[in-house]
Copies of this chain bind each other. A is one copy, B any other.
Amino acid sequence: MPHRELLDPQGKTVGNNLKNLEIHSVEDVRIGKFIELTLGAKSEEEAREKVEKACKKLLANLIMEQYEYELKEV
């Protein structure tokens, strides 16, 4: 998700368009990415390390975005 302090022009546009659809009282819209990663790992620890590395090195732009994740066994 974009940091709270930053403008989110895409969210702003969507917010304005919701008004045109008669959906009122929308106070804020913020748009980020949702990424589903299916990966193999020997332990929860290893999975967490891989996901952290993927987020920091590729998936999130840490200057503009924050990230959070959830591990789920499948």
Q: Is the CB of A30 within 8 A of B36?
A: yes
Q: A25–B54 contact, CB under 8 A? A: no
The residue of chain B having its C-beta at the shortest distance from the C-beta of A46 within the complex is B25
**Taking beta carbons and an 8 Å cutoff, which residues of A are in contact with B?**
1, 11, 14, 17-18, 21, 23, 25-41, 50, 53-54, 57-59
Q: In the complex the two chains form, is B36's CB within 8 Å of A29's CB?
A: yes
Cβ-defined contact, A31 with B33, below 8 A: yes
Rounded to whole Å, the gap between the CB of A16 and the closest CB of chain B is: 11
B21 and A57: CB pair below 8 A? Answer: yes
Q: Is the CB of B30 within 8 A of A35?
A: yes
Docked CA distance A57–B25 (Å): 17
- A1 with B34: in contact, given A21-B53, A21-B57 (CB under 8 Å)? yes
